[in-house]
Chains A and B, each alone.
Chain A
Amino acid sequence: MRHIFLFILLLSTLLWSSCEDVINVNLNGANPQLVIVGVVSNWANEQQVTISRTVAFDKDYASEPVSGAEVEVVAGSGRVFRFVEKTPGSYVAANFQGRQNERYDLHVRVAGREFTATSTMPNLVTADSIGTAVRNLFGEEQKFISIKYQDPPEVPNYYRYLWSVNGRAFEMLYVTRDKFNDGKYISEDLADFDVELFSGDSVVVQMQCIDKAAYDFWNAVQSINPGTAAPANPPSVFGDGALGYFSAHAMSEISTIVQ
């Protein structure tokens, strides 16, 4: 389906002499809302939970850190990991490496309220090849990074892709699921409209196998486009009191030099 909308977008740009400019919109201020983002990964030996508050739209920073929270994760094995605040709003547990198939419960106590969420780390699916794909779109050559992997049959799988180009910070590209290609050998073309790839660029791709809740969160974010009739906040595993997600994911990295 994404192909269709991409095409429609291209078509409308071609057809109509549309014009774009920056304008001033008067937006109301809202009461700050709590945002909790927790991650347990198999990749690192240290896990992180960030707690912040929403800020007004016209602020020149994106969020306000929340300090003084109590954070812990209880693993399925019964081990309890306590998180310590390393920098304002950023809580870290060292010597904690996530394991596939293990269930994790996050407990956050902040400003007199308690929030909990659960995530089970899916099995790792790794890409077995990476390369450069070139597509000719309306007379212009465009380079993609193409990764290939075998999707496990009969189970729903959710993937999140990030990349780092020429050593820059990792950026999320998008999330997918195997609704239409369950059990297939999948080739995923990775691209970012704002980043043009050139021969010789070095690209590192992170492929995260995430659970449904994390997929639902990111899918809600990426499905909001200018044509969405009713944009809304992504579903939160913490209920009405806080935005965000808690994701136990299994990930791997694969890298290439753009041809």
Chain B
Amino acid sequence: MSFTLFCRFYFIFISILAGLSLDAVSQTTHTVSGHVRDALTGETLVGASVRLKSDPSAGARANNYGFYSLTLPEGNHLLVISHVGYTAQEMDVSLMADTIVDIDLRSGALLDEVVINQSSSSENVRSPQMGMTRVDVSEIKHVPVLMGERDVLKTIQLLPGVLSGGEGSSNFFVRGGSGDQNLILLDEAMVYNASHLFGFFSTFNSDAIKDVNLYKGGMPAQYGGRLASVLDITMLDGNKKSLGAEGGIGLIASRLKVDGPIVKDRGSFMVSGRRTYADLFLKLSNDEDINNSRLYFYDLNAKANYRFNERNTVFLSGYFGRDVLGYSRLFGFDWGNATGTLRWNHVLNSRLFSNTTFVYSNFNYNVNIENEEFNFVIASRIQNYNLKQDFQLFASNKSTWRFGVNLLQQGISPANIDADENTAVNSLRLEDRTGMELAGYLSHEWKPTERLNLIYGLRVNNFLLFGPGTFYEYDADGDVRSSQVYGRGEVAQYYINLEPRLSLSYQLQENNSLKLSYNHNAQHLHQLSNSTSSLPTDAWVMSSNNIKPQLADQTALGYYQNFGDNRYEFSVESYYKYMQNQIDYRNAADLQANEHIEAELLYGIGQAYGVELFLKKRTGKLNGWLSYALSRSERRFDGINGGNWFAARQDRTHDVSVVGMYQLSPRWNLSATFVYSTGNAVTFPSGKYSVDGRTLWYYTERNGYRMPDYHRLDLGATWESTAFKRFKSSWTFGVYNAYNRKNAYIIDFRENEANPNVTEAYRIALFGIIPSVTWNFKF
């Protein structure tokens, strides 16, 4: 049934496409198209700019696969091709017919004082896309981090509007949203749990990453499924020219990446791995229980691509990562993600680019308990299959269309217990749930006038929740009111959402612009957690007869300005976001292995608003950025806090990040990061009482208190050793929390040991000053 629906969608789009193609051919123009690549490695350059020298406003940006297409009048043109971190290049084309030109750019080190082409470096001002930041992976190389583990997710927390999930955490919150409202994509595959070791390290090994784009608002219509943000991460394709390796040995983990051509200039591969080795120290113990214990995580990224001809390229990429903990044979706990992406880039004609993607993504965890009385396994899994067809039509150099369809099948197996016959625990099976999201989108990037640039679009999303299973209805107290059984393939619930998107820029002068955006997003997958940290055992649920899709409407207004010959960029953005069908929990909700988990949920609304300032120095010996956000995030639920608005836990009034990197000499690079933020909103007791000899806390207000302010300084230094033939190596030194600030991780209350009638508050600080050292090599 769904397949026929899919086909219908597909043909509608094909017809639209045909119509548009005809429309655009009306004068003697020709198209120059091709790929923009790194001259040394052959890596395609995402977002590179191709423009007319005579009219910099006429141009195109290379898409996610480095493909560009520019339609110009017949004749001779001088093109300027540029990309951040690369030397701009000029190129003569004589357009008598449609032409394919692949462009190779040479990377220019920051020190070389490259005069980056004006049109490229003011891209941030001119681009209609708002609320978007591209993180340059080479730029974050020097940012100091915890234990010396470079981490994309921790670096984006230094941007305005992105808050850290807590001390040392790779979890993040965007514009007042919750952690599960971020869509995290790795080569288009959804990553369910993007962290290792309970959040302290992200699953993204920086060695394997080419490009990172974060959308905080005004998301283009090709993205959907989450309210707060899209983090789109692209893996490196691998060096097409020569075989190479790089790696590092750090305090807690070692990494190795190998990449090279499969067939020179046609295909390449990249394999990158990382593993921690804290468990190796356990092996030193004489205690059998300890040296049989397990404590590690690893990541494996692999990618291969092959270009059959100028029109067809195939990519296969995968990620596999796992955390493994275990104590002797008594206890085992492991969890991880696996993703696989198969893509086919097809250039239908010089102006129409097609990408077909098939994605598989999985997250699961297992717990094993084995002792004299217990012998059981708890297992849970969430997975999806995603088939996507995206088209990009470069209709003219003022107009680009994107459209496509997306069929996502999602399955959830909640925590099940498998117990031995003779053990003191019963087996427990909860029903699996299957859902499907069928989405289509159309988006138009258009430049109607010299100054106005806009992207507008619409995403249509149809969510279907299927049987088999029993679906319950609950009354206000969370008791079962009725139930309904659906068979396999029967639709238990469906929702249709129309998600309009708009983002525009109005250029005031050459180097400043006003931007405006609006987006409506719907979310059908929800992570349930009533603890302060995100755990691998958190339950996932889909929208259902009880759970309505989470909805968000966000409007943002901003001002962008570059100055100092584009060496500095500045932006200020303000936003207001209204959220519906937000989820909270009944008091002492039972979220584990509970058939009636939906009865434990409460639904309410939320709002978030704020102002974000960003000032960046892009080039020179000293570069870095300053970011500040003033924001508020609130929720309102019947039955919580007397139905009054309360601050969301991640509401932090002020959030400041300062990042500085200084090239002291060709050998030495120094860096420093300073962060300051208001403490989280938190619930503390406002009184106490005694029950049966125990002192209990009396709470009066949800999140009515504040944790102390958080601030921290990290320092880093990198020393490059002399290259020996192709072999280069460097040492990275870091100090986390340089002035040993005792930031409160937890504030809790207890009876005084000496006098139980007296109660006291105590603070737990997680990380004091932590030095780190990493040795990196490359050849």
Contacts and interface: CB of A to CB of B under 8 A. Distances in A.
A67 interface: no
Given A220-B588, A230-B703, A23 B762 contact: yes
A84 B634 CA distance: 48
A228 B589 CA distance: 11
Interface string A211-246: 000001001110110111111111100000001110
Given A19-B765, A23-B763, A33 B531 contact: no
B700 to A, nearest CB: 5
19 contacts: A1-B537, A17-B768, A20-B765, A21-B762, A22-B763, A24-B761, A25-B705, A55-B688, A56-B687, A59-B688, A63-B690, A180-B428, A187-B373, A223-B588, A227-B531, A232-B699, A232-B702, A235-B588, A243-B689
Interface string B725-755: 0000000000000000010111111000001
A125 B588 CA distance: 26
A30 B584 contact: no
* A-B pairs with lowest CB-CB distance, top 7: A220-B588, A62-B690, A30-B686, A63-B690, A25-B761, A54-B687, A226-B746
A180 B762 contact: no
B367 interface: yes
A23 B760 CA distance: 8
B325 interface: yes
Contact of A33 (B684, B687, B765): B687
Nearest to B748: A226
A60 to B, nearest CB: 5
Interface in B694-714: 694-700, 702-705
A interface, over-half SS = loop
A139 B290 contact: yes
A51 to B, nearest CB: 11
Interface in A13-51: 15-25, 27-30, 32-33, 35, 37
Interface string B196-209: 00100000000000
A20 B531 contact: no
Contacts of A21: 742, 762-763, 765
A77 interface: no
A11 B197 CA distance: 10
Given A180-B593, A229-B529, 18 more contacts: A1-B537, A1-B593, A7-B327, A17-B768, A23-B763, A28-B686, A28-B700, A33-B687, A57-B687, A57-B697, A62-B759, A170-B693, A184-B426, A229-B531, A231-B685, A232-B683, A233-B587, A245-B691
A182 B425 CA distance: 8
A20 B198 contact: no
Nearest to B740: A19
Interface in B184-234: 198
Contacts of B367: 4
Interface string B575-590: 0000000001101100
Contact of B761 (A19, A22, A183, A216): A22
Contact of A3 (B290, B369, B593, B687): B369
Contacts of B746: 226-227
B747 A23 contact: yes
Interface in B119-139: none
Contact of B198 (A8, A170, A216, A234): A8
Nearest to A16: B766
A16 B767 contact: yes
Interface in A92-149: 136, 138-139
Nearest to B417: A180
Nearest to A11: B325
Contact of A27 (B289, B373, B684, B765): B684
A171 B693 contact: yes
B682 to A, nearest CB: 9
Interface residues of A, number: 73
Contacts, number: 196
Contacts of B331: 3, 7
B764 interface: yes
Given A7-B327, A7-B333, A18-B745, A232 B587 contact: yes
Contact of B696 (A7, A219, A221): A221
B699 A57 contact: no
A155 interface: no
B432 to A, nearest CB: 20
B702 A54 contact: no
A135 B588 CA distance: 30
A175 to B, nearest CB: 11
Interface string B329-372: 00101000000000000000000000000000000000101000
B91 interface: no
A226 B764 contact: yes
Contacts of B425: 180-181, 184
Given A3-B331, A136-B289, A216-B588, A187 B424 contact: yes
Nearest to A58: B759
A60 B752 CA distance: 10
Contact of B287 (A22, A58, A139, A170): A139
A61 B587 contact: no
Contact of B530 (A20, A184, A229): A229
Contacts of B693: 169-172
A59 B756 CA distance: 12
Contacts of B531: 227-229
Interface string B407-445: 000000000010000001110100000000000000000
B327 A33 contact: no
Interface in B638-667: 640, 649
A186 B424 contact: yes
Contacts of A18: 745, 764-767
B686 A63 contact: no
Contact of B424 (A1, A35, A58, A181): A181
A135 to B, nearest CB: 9
Given A221-B696, A227-B533, A23 B278 contact: no
Contacts of A224: 697
Contacts of A33: 687, 689, 698
B685 A57 contact: yes
B592 interface: yes
B145 to A, nearest CB: 16
Contacts of A198: none
Contacts of A1: 537, 592-593
Contacts of B698: 30, 33, 54, 233, 243
Given A3-B331, A180-B417, A60 B757 contact: yes
A20 to B, nearest CB: 5
A224 B537 CA distance: 18
A101 B509 CA distance: 83
Given A7-B325, A52-B689, A227-B531, A19 B768 contact: yes
Nearest to A21: B763
B643 to A, nearest CB: 13
Q: In the complex, which of the residues B289, B531, B592, B703 has the most CB atoms of chain A within 10 Å of its own CB atom?
A: B531
Q: In the complex, which of the residues A23, A185, A219, A243 has the most CB atoms of chain B within 10 Å of its own CB atom?
A: A23
A4 B537 contact: yes
Nearest to B742: A19
Contact of A30 (B333, B649, B700, B757): B700
A63 B688 contact: yes
Q: In the complex, which of the residues A19, A172, A231 has the most CB atoms of chain B within 10 Å of its own CB atom?
A: A231
